[in-house]
Structure 1
Amino acid sequence: MTTLRSSVDSAGADFKANREAMLAKLAELDTEHAKAVAGGGEKYTARHHQRGKLLARERVELLLDPDSPFLELSPLAAWGSDFPVGASLVTGIGVVEGVECMINANDPTVKGGAINPWGMKKGFRAADIAAQNRLPTINLVESGGADLPTQKDIFIPGGRTFRDLTRASAAGIPTVALVFGNSTAGGAYLPGMSDYVVMVKERAKVFLGGPPLVKMATGEDSDDESLGGAEMHARVSGLADYLAADEQDAIRLGRRIVKRLNWRKLGPAPAADYAEPEHDAEDLLGIVPTDLKIPFDPREVIARVVDGSDFDEFKPLYGSSLVTGWAQVHGYPVGILANARGVLFSEEAQKATQFIQLANQTDTPLLFLHNTTGYMVGKEYEQGGMIKHGAMMVNAVSNSKVPHISLLIGASYGAGHYGMCGRAYDPRFLFAWPSAKSAVMGAAQLAGVLSIVMRQGAEAKGQIYNEEHDAAMRAMVEGQIEAQSLPTFLSGMVYDDGIIDPRDTRTVLGISLSAIHNGPVKGADGFGVFRM
């Protein structure tokens, strides 16, 4: 039998403690998400509504098919920075007329929708996802362009936005711009470089330079409408393909455009019939210990995520710190690599390398479940070839061509983060649970390493080491690294695509896999040189 059994005791004290801790983290997460939803605050959202305009998320909701899901991406971008949480941009994957699309919506309640450095980074990530997964893009535009006080961080890299639009078009991936308000300066090129453009009558304003700039540059007197109004662009310049009567009409036209794309997925379809997991997703709240040093069995997670809790484990008796095997999620086949006891030894690295090769041979997407402290260190392991075996795994991950999805559920430290397909290794999607932590190493270990190095430096100079200073330094470093290891900090840096409720894991993976299959799914033809 390949159906996973469960030994989780949901009535046990440890489970209850883990559950309460996870629920507390989720409550904190809800507070931060609420800040993103609030946009510029009550004053500016009320003013926006008084002008007869919809908010960014209201526009998205009207655009989507009724009762269809919306997978919001990078909702905590800019967390911990000087900019509002969410970075004045809403991005995500939603279904429009049966077609999965990447949707980007400026939030005009935050500085008129001006793009700040974090919003730019968030937009780049959305563009990468759209390109890698062959998703049509719909931009809901109302933005005053770049946030001028931070132009030094935006102007030069920001040109990539327009490059990505034109490359998407060249690749046959449609781009649609629905312009609800201002789209000025460099922002005017966003509709200018889209395949389809809809502008709202008497609302949309698209020009390279507004009336004041034109007056300063040329001495010419002009008004908004003649310079860049929707009707002018629909009747005179030809920039607008459709003139909408109001915002609702613009959204209706956008949906009609998508309907006529004749869009077809290129990846294999999922199995028509599949079973839900046999174990309750609610249990996922109590599986991960509050102390990540305590190992947990990732099979308990897998049993609550994959179809029918059915998992064919590969090489179960070898390299037992890494669980590998085959399953389905919402009818899509996947290969799973999941850390079982944190440390990766040579056996685990070799096992992972072989498994990744097999997945590429059968064109099977890979799912990485992170809970690792990294590759094993020490004289015995170095002499046994830990570096070359770890390098084999990193080589395999780097050159694998099947789609990868990474999910950080516990620790993700050191080179183990790389071998398990961290952000730098281009997983199609990377999500985190509230319990996750990621850094070069644990906070206590990093502080301890610095202490040893400083102590040895003092001894080499014949100096007496200041123990009081050492204790203060270690406490400071531990606090700093701990704060920078938390998922909210990393999500704010756009190092993941969002922190998710563990109970939503199966749904999030299903949406991600469905999006992935808009494009072909094919393995690598070859790998680099493996140092044996």
Structure 2
Amino acid sequence: MTRLSTAVDPRAPEYAAARGAALERLAALDAEHAKALAGGGEKYTARHRDRGKLPARERIELLLDPDTPFLELSPLAAWGSDHPVGASLVTGIGTVEGTECVITANDPTVRGGASNPWTLKKALRANEIALQNRLPLISLVESGGADLPSQKEIFIPGGALFRDLTRLSAAGVPTVAVVFGNSTAGGAYVPGMSDHTVMIKGRSKVFLGGPPLVKMATGEESDDESLGGADMHARTSGLADHHAVDEHDAIRRARRIVARLEHRRAHPAPPAAEEPLYDAEELLGIVPEDLRTPFDPREVIARIVDGSDFDEFKPLYGSSLVTGWARLHGWPVGVLANARGVLFSAESQKAAQFIQLANQRDIPLLFLHNTTGYMVGREYEQGGIVKHGAMMINAVSNSRVPHLSVLIGASYGAGHYGMCGRAYEPRFLFAWPSAKSAVMGPQQLAGVLSIVARQSAAAKGKPYDEEADAGMRAFVEAQIEAESLPVFLSGRLYDDGVIDPRDTRTVLGLCLSAVHNAPVEGARGGFGVFRM
């Protein structure tokens, strides 16, 4: 039998401690997510509703098929910056008329939906997901354009938004724009470059330059309606393909557009899957509060894969990395999960072979991170850890099957790269609240700086200031600890969201369904030179 057993004891003190810590992290995470959900706050939301308009998330809810999930992406974008959490934009994946789509929606309660640098990064990430996975892109538009004080950070890279719309269309990926209010200046190109555009009578305004700018540029007197209203664009310019009477009608028309796309996914949905044998609730108590304490990733795998059924590959070789085959919501996956943190030469070679096998069989890969990196030391350097680590990174870099990554514990150093961190372009990357990621652990980094400073003082023949050293170490440890936390990294879009561990199976199932809209084809050779 290949069904995984479990050693988790919910009555054990260490389990209770880990669960308690997880619940505290989740409560803190909920508070940060609430900031994004609040948008511009009660005052501006009430003003928006008083104008007869729906908030961004209610527009999305009406657009989606009833009782279907919405996988929101990057909800903590801009966290820790000078801009509001969420970056005045909602993005995610949902089902419209039976078709999985990427949906973006400006939040006009936040500075009129103006785009700041994090809005741009978030929108570009959504476009990337749509293109990679061949998902139709629906833009729910209501924005005053660029947040002008931030224009120096937006103008040059912002052109990529319009580039992406044309590339999606050229690749045969449909794009739909529904304009609920202003879509001005550069923002006018969103409806202008989308395949299908819906505008609302008396509400939609699309123009390159509004009346004040036209007055300044040409001296011409004009008004919103004649310059860029829905009636004008439906009757005169031809920009509006559909002329809706109100927001609900606009959303109905958008749903009909999607229904008529006849969009076909590359792979049919799999049959119904068997649930795991073990309760997802137990995932809260598996990862210790102190990430230096090892845990068995099979306990995680057993609670997310179908039937807890897992065929392990090379279980006796390179045992610090668990590899094997499973199904998740019916989709086949190859799983790589760190068992004891450190990656040695055997683990690296095992991973490279496993990744090649997945590519040979066109099977997506799931990386579960809990690594401190590749092993260091004279013995390991002489044993070839550099070339073996490079072999694993080579395999990850040149693999062509979709990769999904979940940071469940530590993800430090080059181990983050070898386990398909953000720079290696996984289709999706999520983090648990327990995760931490940096060039190395806070204590190690502070210790390295201390050793270097001591050596420098000794080389100069100067006494070493132990008190200053202790202060420096404490400062550096606190800084790296703060910068290693998932909310900090998620704010910079280094992941696609921080998720509740109990939702991992559902999130991954939605992602696997999304990636199978595009052909899943592995690399046939083309891995470059493996140094043996």
| TM-score of the pair, normalised by structure 2 | 0.99
Q: CA deviation at 1:271?
A: 3.4
3-state SS of paired residue (1:233) = helix
8 A Cα contact 1:374 1:417, kept in partner: yes
- Equivalent residue number for residue 425 of structure 1: 424
Q: How far apart are the structure 1 equivalents of 2:40 and 2:271?
A: 44
Q: Which runs of 5+ in 2 are unaligned?
A: none
- Report the counterpart of residue 455 of structure 2 in structure 1: 456
Once the two structures are TM-superposed, the CA of residue 525 in structure 1 deviates from its matched residue by 1.8
Alignment partners' CA distance in 2, 1:126 and 1:456: 48
Q: How many Å separate the matches in 2 of 1:172 and 1:367?
A: 28
1:212 alignment counterpart: 212
Report what 1:169 is aligned to. Answer: 169
Query: 1:263-289, CA deviations, whole angstroms, 9 ceiling, x for partnerless residues?
Result: 11113x343142100011000000000
Residue in 1 that maps onto 2:442: 443
Partner of 2:180: 180
Q: What is the number of equivalent residue pairs in this alignment?
A: 531
**CA distance in structure 1 between the aligned counterparts of 2:320 and 2:388, rounded to whole angstroms:** 15
| Alignment match, 2:331 | 332
Q: Which runs of 4+ in 1 moved over 3 A?
A: none
Partner of 2:304: 305
Q: Specify the code of the residue in structure 1 equivalent to 2:288.
A: P
Structure 1 unaligned spans of 5+: none
- 1:386 matched residue in structure 2: 385
Amino acid in the other structure paired with 1:509: L
Matched, 1:140 2:140: yes
Q: Quote the residue 1:224 is aligned against.
A: 224
CA distance in 2 between partners of 1:493 and 1:470 (Å): 31
- Check the 8 A contact 1:201/1:245 in 2, yes or no: yes
User: Which secondary structure does the structure 2 equivalent of 1:364 belong to?
Assistant: coil
Residues of 2 paired with 1:272 and 1:508: CA distance? 18
Normalization by structure 1: what TM-score?
0.99
SS in 1 for 2:414: helix
Per-residue CA shift, 1:396-455, capped at 9, x if unaligned? 000000000000000000000000000000000000000000000000100000000011
Matching residue of 2:84: 84
Give the letter aligned to residue 443 of structure 1. P
The CA distance in 1 between the partners of 2:308 and 2:278, in whole Å, is 7
Q: 1:320 & 1:11 partners in 2: Cα distance? A: 28
Deviations 1:188-224 (A, max 9, x none): 0010000000001100000000000000000000000
CA contact (8 A) 1:321 1:348 kept: yes
Q: Distance in 1 between matches of 2:480 and 2:102?
A: 34
The residue that corresponds to 2:529 in the other structure is 529
Contact 1:174 1:195 in 2 (8 A): yes
- Distance in 1, matches of 2:105 and 2:272, equals 35
The aligned amino acid for 2:63 is L
Quote the Cα distance in structure 2 between the aligned partners of 1:38 and 1:371.
33
Aligned to 1:27: 27
**In structure 2, what is the Cα distance between the partners aligned to 1:379 and 1:356?**
28
- Asked if residue 497 in structure 1 is aligned to residue 463 in structure 2, the reply is no
Q: Residue by residue, what CA displacement relative to the aligned partner does 1:47-105 show, whole Å, maximum 9, x if unpaired? A: 00000000000100000000000000000000000100000000000000000000000
* Mapped partners of 2:481, 2:271: distance in 1: 45
Q: Residue deviations 1:504-524, cap 9 Å, x none? A: 000000000000000000000
Deviations 1:466-510 (A, max 9, x none): 111111100000000000000000000000000000000000000
- Secondary structure at the aligned position of 2:298 is classed as helix
Q: Which amino acid aligns with 2:338?
A: N
For 1:194, the equivalent position in structure 2 comes to 194
User: Which residue matches 1:13?
Assistant: 13
- Distance in 2 of aligned mates of 1:270 and 1:222: 53
What amino acid sits opposite 1:344 in the alignment? L
How far apart in 2 are the matches of 1:201 and 1:452?
69
Residue 126 of structure 1 aligns with an amino acid whose one-letter code is: A
Partner of 2:476: 477
Query: How far apart in 2 are the matches of 1:232 and 1:295?
Result: 65
Q: Distance in 1 between matches of 2:194 and 2:269?
A: 31
AA of the residue aligned to 1:510? G
Show the counterpart of 1:104. 104
Q: Which whole-Å CA distance do the structure 2 matches of 1:10 and 1:110 have between them? A: 44
The DSSP-based 3-state class of the residue aligned with 2:354 is helix
* Distance in 2 separating the partners of 1:270 and 1:108: 36
Distance in structure 1 (CA, Å) of the matches to 2:357 and 2:159? 40
Partner-residue secondary structure (3-state), 1:162: helix
CA distance in 1 between counterparts of 2:132 and 2:531 reads 30
- Partner Cα separation in structure 1 for residue 444 and residue 125 of structure 2: 32
- Look up the SS of the partner of 2:142 in the other structure: strand
Cα distance in structure 2, aligned partners of 1:265 and 1:305: 25
Distance in 2 (CA, whole Å) between partners of 1:370 and 1:475 is 27
Say if 1:297 and 1:340, in contact at 8 Å, map to a contact too: yes
- 1:8-61 alpha-carbon deviations (Å, 9 max, x no partner): 001111101100110110000110010000000110000000000000001000
Instruction: Kindly provide the amino acid, as one letter, of the partner of residue 301 in structure 2.
Output: I
SS at match of 1:272: coil
2:152 maps to amino acid: K
> Do 1:313 and 1:323's aligned partners in 2 also have CA atoms closer than 8 Å?
yes
What do the CA deviations read for 1:308-332 (whole angstroms, capped 9, x no partner)? 0000000000000000000000000
- Measure the CA separation in 2 of the matches of 1:80 and 1:209: 33
Does the 8 Å contact 1:270/1:330 carry over to 2?
Answer: no
Q: Sequence identity, in percent?
A: 77
For 2:481 and 2:122, how far apart are their aligned partners in 1?
Answer: 24
Task: State the alpha-carbon separation in 2 of the partners of residues 340 and 460 from structure 1.
Answer: 41
**1:358 matched to which residue of 2?**
357
Question: Which residue of the partner structure matches residue 151 of structure 1?
Answer: 151
- Are positions 1:4 and 2:4 aligned together? yes
Equivalent position of 2:46 in the other structure? 46
Name the CA distance, whole Å, in 1 between partners of 2:43 and 2:463: 60
Paired residue type of 2:113: G
Q: Hey, what does 1:510 align to over in structure 2?
A: 509
- Supply the distance in 1 between the matched residues of 2:326 and 2:228 (Cα, whole angstroms): 54
Question: Cα distance 1:198–1:358, how it changes in 2: closer, same or farther (>3 A)?
Answer: same
Aligned residues of 1:200 and 1:246 also touching (Cα < 8 A): yes
Whole-Å separation in 1 of the counterparts to 2:419 and 2:390: 12
Deviations 1:280-308 (A, max 9, x none): 10000000000000010000000000000
Name the amino acid aligned to 2:330: G
Letter aligned with residue 348 of structure 1: E
CA distance in structure 1 between the aligned counterparts of 2:177 and 2:272, rounded to whole angstroms? 37
In structure 2, C-alpha distance between the alignment counterparts of 1:246 and 1:274, rounded to whole Å: 41
Q: Distance in 1 between matches of 2:97 and 2:77?
A: 29
> What's the Cα RMSD here?
0.5
Distance in 1, Cα, partners of 2:146 & 2:272: 48
Which amino acid letter does the alignment assign opposite residue 3 of structure 1?
A: R
